[in-house]
Amino acid sequence: MSLITEEQVVLDLTGADRHEATRLLGERLVASGRCTDLDTFIADVRKREETMATGLPGGIGIPHARSTAITEPSLVFGRSANGIDWGAKDGPATLIFLIAAPEGGGDAHMQMLPKLARALMKKDFKAALAAATTEAEVVRIVSAEVELDQPAAAPEESRMASAAEAGAGLATGTAAAGAAPLADAPRSLNLVGVTSCPTGIAHTYMAAEGLENAAKAAGHTMKVETQGSAGSKPLTAAEIAAADAVIFAHDLPVKDAGRFAGKPTIDVGVKKGISDGPALIAQAAALASEWRNDPSKAAAASAAAAGSSGGALVSKVEEGAGLGTRIRQWLMTGVSYMIPFVAAGGILIALSFMLSQVSLGAEGPIEIVKYNLTSTDQYNIAQNFSATSLTSWAALLFVIGGASFGFLVPILSGFIAFAIADRPGLVPGIVGGSVAATMGAGFLGGLVTGVLGGLVARWVSNWKVAKGVRGVMPVVVIPLVSSFITIGLFITVLGRPIKALTDALNSWLTGMSGASAIILGVILGAMMGFDLGGPVNKVAYAFATTGLAAAGAATDAPQLKIMAAVMAAGMVAPLAMALATTVRPQLFSEPERENGKAAWLLGASFISEGAIPFAAVDPVRVISSSVVGSAVTGALVMLFGATLRAPHGGIWVLPLIGNFLLFLVALIIGVLVMATIVIALKSRDTHLAEVDATATV
């Protein structure tokens, strides 16, 4: 059935105010049999109006509501010669659409309602309605934009199609017409956004259309996720990662807002997205430029994002990536969620050992590991804690740190499975990781249970089951079946050989000394310096952090030396480039010299990515120098026997580094080696005059 009929058109709408006019429009729905209780429906509309006025700039009113009194999605059009105040700041509304939706209106017809919202952004559409002389003409004009006979398109496809038709203009009356396009924008930007309103019928989609049109007029591209009643295709992780800035135009909390953490963000109400689209795009462009020119803002936001998930669990897996890439991203998701446990446990244990040496002498670290929560003797810290005893504080730190360490393998396994299967993978992954740790299979066992648990959970999640079973699938069937298969296979088939492999690896690391340790340091250091935070760098880092789980409470475990070597090597490249730009500034352009200033802090904080701007401009010389310098530092740290329990922190965790003076010596030597090579290679540049000219601009 058509969304609008001739009976639902009023060409000479009158009324003392918008409430009276709404009732007159509602009576047309009663007459057409689409409204069973006018008073109930009008009350629902008024309740919506109390939430936020539905008048829009440009002489438009869009009263709307869901109601139990409405039998099917419907539109009623009214045109007022003198205009009726509908709450818009720029004056009364002359074109009014009453949008009526059933209470549970989530079917295909409901997906057509956003089309009206977008059509109202078109000047031609509004002009045709203003000039129409018959009810039939109005029905034809509206039906051309809001067609119910075609199969419902996916919300994102529908929105993109209508955006293509809408053109570059934003037809929102004088408020939008007075805004100037960003003709002088320095570059085309990739923007993303989210729109939402309390009922999700009209404002959500009109704001999306307004932002997209304004972005197009300014020479940018923009994709908007409409969190409305008709649903939408969420923005992909790749689209968000590529965005220069984000615009939230919403009156409801943004779902999974943590996805956008670390991005320049404009946050306004939904009506701003409709009436002030060009201004919001201009603000977003200015903010993106500000962040681009001041790397410290992006670094601070990224650091804040790393410490908070924004209330949502997220994975690091890109849609459409190749199998090899996805496997690496599965593993890195597990590692990223494991690292906070490593950091908390490792630092607490390191502090415990420091205090125990003060309290108990050189044998303190050996004595403090005897403390626990279960024994019946003096080592039960829960029963024998004394606030005045330094030993008690050291024991308390050790017990808490040990408890944190106990979660390393289960969390690693659980979030690998989560990356593969989303939330259904958590149960088999976490329980499987716990079993792997109990059997002594270590982090290798956690990797296996994580991948296996995720694949099994995803397989079970895709089962075609009866409608009555769907409700219990996520809470009963998926965790039950996937856990039984994953953990049953691990206990009976996979666990023992993986434990044997883990034991062999630990034996090799424990027996590592002299040349073998130095070679491992060279390899790990070179990997850290090769792609500066990329896949190779992350593999070396993951090897070090997951190895901390096997170190336990040992004070001189080889895994602690590996962690120290990896962190020191990862600090070399940005520090070396900072030094090179300071010693020989004429070899670098002005932007590179500015990046060099920031690289001091980034390198000292173990942020290898601080050298990426240099590698991007001159990859061969910078990366080759980085590999050599980082390899030297990795080898020296292993040779010197420096140890580290913290998985991150750079110089800020220096007091927690065993043999920290030798750690610093190894770091300084690597930085000097890389800086020397970079300067030597750049000094041989046959185009040095051009470089100097660029550097002095």
Q: Write down the pLDDT at residue 174.
A: 35
Strand partners for 521:
none
Inter-axis angle of helices 442-461 and 426-438, nearest 10: 150
Q: What torsion do the CA atoms of 104, 109, 111, 114 make, to the nearest 10 degrees?
A: -100
pLDDT by residue (tens digit) across 58-81? 888 888 888 889 988 889 999 999
Residue 299 clears pLDDT 70, i.e. is over it: no
Q: Round the average pLDDT of the chain to a whole number and report it.
A: 81
**Rounded to whole angstroms, what are the CA distances from 272 to 114, 160, 282, 331?**
18, 21, 13, 41
What is the dihedral angle through the alpha carbons of 397, 401, 403, 404, rounded to the nearest 10 degrees?
140
Is the pLDDT at 179 greater than 80? The verdict is no
Find tokens 């049109």 and name the residue.
213
pLDDT, tens digit (0-9, with 9 covering 90-100), for 495-536: 999 989 878 876 776 666 668 889 999 999 999 998 887 667
Which is catalytic among the residues 35, 197, 203, 220? 197
At 429, is the pLDDT very low, low, confident or very high (cuts 50, 70, 90)?
very high
Q: 135 versus 608: which is more confidently predicted? A: 135
Taking 80 as the threshold, does the pLDDT of residue 166 lie above it?
A: no
Give me the amino acid identity at 689: A
Residue 161's pLDDT is 41
Amino acid 315: pLDDT: 60
SS3 category, 231: coil
Measured CA distances, 473 to 372, 479, 488, 626 (Å): 40, 8, 20, 51
Least confident window among 51-60, 242-251, 397-406: 51-60
DSSP-based three-state secondary structure for 223:
strand
CA distance 436 to 443: 8
The count of other CB atoms within 10 Å of the CB of residue 476 is 11
Confidence of residue 234 (pLDDT cuts 50, 70, 90): confident
Least confident stretch, 111-115, 174-178, 396-400: 174-178
Confidence band (pLDDT; 50, 70, 90) for 154? Answer: very low
Mean pLDDT over residues 282-300, rounded?
80
Q: What is the pLDDT of residue 495?
A: 92
pLDDT at 411: 92
Q: What band does 175 get if pLDDT is binned at 50, 70 and 90?
A: very low
pLDDT band at 691 (very low <50, low <70, confident <90, very high): very low
CA distance to 46, 47, 61, 197, per residue, from 54 (Å) = 10, 12, 6, 11
User: What are 626-656's pLDDT values in tens digits?
Assistant: 999 999 999 999 999 898 877 777 887 787 7
Query: Which pLDDT belongs to residue 153?
Result: 42
DSSP 8-state assignment for residue 475: I
Residue 2 near residue 148, CB atoms below 8 Å: yes
Q: Is the pLDDT at 280 greater than 60, yes or no?
A: yes
* 64 among known catalytic residues: yes
pLDDT attached to residue 167: 36
Count of positions (residues) in the chain: 697
The tokens for 606 are: 């173990």
> What is the DSSP secondary-structure string of 617-680?
HSHHHHHHHHHHHHHHHHHHHHHHT-B---SS-GGGGGGGSBTHHHHHHHHHHHHHHHHHHHHH
Instruction: Confirm if 55 and 85 have CB atoms less than 8 A apart.
Output: yes
**Beta bridge pairs of residue 102:** 67
Pairing mode of beta strands 60-61, 55-56: antiparallel
- Which residue matches tokens 């197009």? 216
> Tokens 């934003």 — which residue?
170
Q: Rounded to whole angstroms, how far apart are CA atoms 370 and 382?
A: 13
Closest CA relative to residue 491, chosen from 429, 457, 449: 449
**Domains annotated on the chain, with CATH:** 6-146 (3.40.930.10), 190-304 (3.40.50.2300), 323-493 (no CATH), 514-694 (no CATH)
DSSP-derived pairing of the beta strands 9-10 and 74-84: parallel
At residue 86, the 3 state secondary structure works out as coil
CA 329 to CA 335: how far, in whole Å? 10
For the segment 204-218, what is each residue's pLDDT rounded down to a tens digit?
Answer: 777 888 898 889 888
- Whether the per-residue pLDDT at 677 is higher than 80: the answer is yes
How far, in Å, CA of 686 to CA of 500, rounded? 57
CA 294, 299, 303: angle at the middle one, nearest 5? 155
Separation CA 644–CA 637 (nearest Å): 11
The residue behind tokens 């977003």 is 284
Cβ neighbour number for residue 163 with a 10 Å cutoff:
21
Task: Give, to the nearest 10 degrees, the angle between helix 619-640 and helix 514-530.
Answer: 150
Report pLDDT for 313.
Answer: 59
CA distance to 206, 316, 434, per residue, from 191 (Å): 17, 20, 42
Beta bridge partners of 64: 99
Cα separation of 572 and 575, whole Å?
A: 5
Residue 110 structure tokens: 């409901």
Give the separation between CA 252 and CA 270, rounded to whole angstroms.
9
Q: Examine the pLDDT at 661 and tell me if it is beyond 80.
A: yes
**Range with top average pLDDT, 123-127, 457-461, 609-613:** 457-461
Q: How would you class 436 by CB atoms within 10 Å of its CB: exposed for 0-12, middle for 13-18, buried for 19 or more?
A: buried
- What's the rounded Cα separation, in Å, for the pair 260 and 310? 9
Residue 109's pLDDT is 44
Distance from the Cα of residue 671 to its chain's centroid: 33
pLDDT of residue 300: 58
- With pLDDT > 90 as the criterion, what percentage of the chain qualifies? 35
Contact 615, 623 (CB under 8 A): yes
What's the pLDDT band for 170 if we cut at 50, 70, 90?
very low
Confidence of residue 670 (pLDDT cuts 50, 70, 90): very high
Task: Dump strand ranges (E) for 64-117.
Answer: 64-67, 74-84, 93-102
Residue 158 pLDDT: 42
Whole-number pLDDT of residue 480: 93
Beta carbons of 334 and 369 less than 8 angstroms apart: no
- Residues 320-372 have pLDDT tens digits of 567 777 787 788 788 778 878 877 877 787 788 888 888 888 777 778 888 99
Half-sphere exposure of residue 358: CA atoms within 13 angstroms, side-chain side = 12
Q: Using CB atoms within 10 A of its CB, is residue 37 exposed (0-12), middle (13-18) or buried (19+)?
A: middle
Give me the mean pLDDT over the 668-697 stretch: 71
* Strands across the sheet containing 245-250: 221-226, 190-196, 245-250, 265-268
* CA proximity to 597, closest of 195, 364, 336, 294: 294
Residues whose CB falls within 8 Å of the CB of residue 446, separated by 6 or more in sequence, listed in order: 334, 408, 409, 410, 412, 413, 416, 432, 433, 436, 437, 546, 549
Calculate mean pLDDT across residues 669-676.
Answer: 96
pLDDT confidence of 318, banded at 50, 70, 90? low
Say yes or no to pLDDT of 620 above 70.
yes
Whether 109 is a known active-site residue: answer: no
Q: For residue 244, give Cα distances in angstroms to 37, 238, 292, 376, 491.
A: 49, 12, 9, 59, 48
Cα 120 versus chain centre, distance: 33
* pTM confidence score: 0.49
- 535-588 residue pLDDT tens: 677 778 878 877 776 665 566 778 889 999 999 999 999 999 999 999 999 888
- Asked if 226 contacts 205 with a C-beta cutoff of 8 angstroms, the reply is yes
What pLDDT is attached to residue 254?
82
- Alpha carbon distances (Å) from 476 to 424, 425, 479: 10, 13, 6
Q: Report the candidate in 604, 601, 637 with the shortest Cα–Cα distance to residue 299.
A: 601
Mean pLDDT for the stretch of residues 612-634 = 89
Averaged pLDDT, 138-159: 63
The dihedrals phi and psi of 193, each to the nearest 5 degrees, come to -160, 170
List, for residues 180-205, the tens digit of each pLDDT value.
Answer: 343 344 578 999 999 987 655 567 77
Count of Cβ atoms closer than 10 Å to residue 326 Cβ: 16
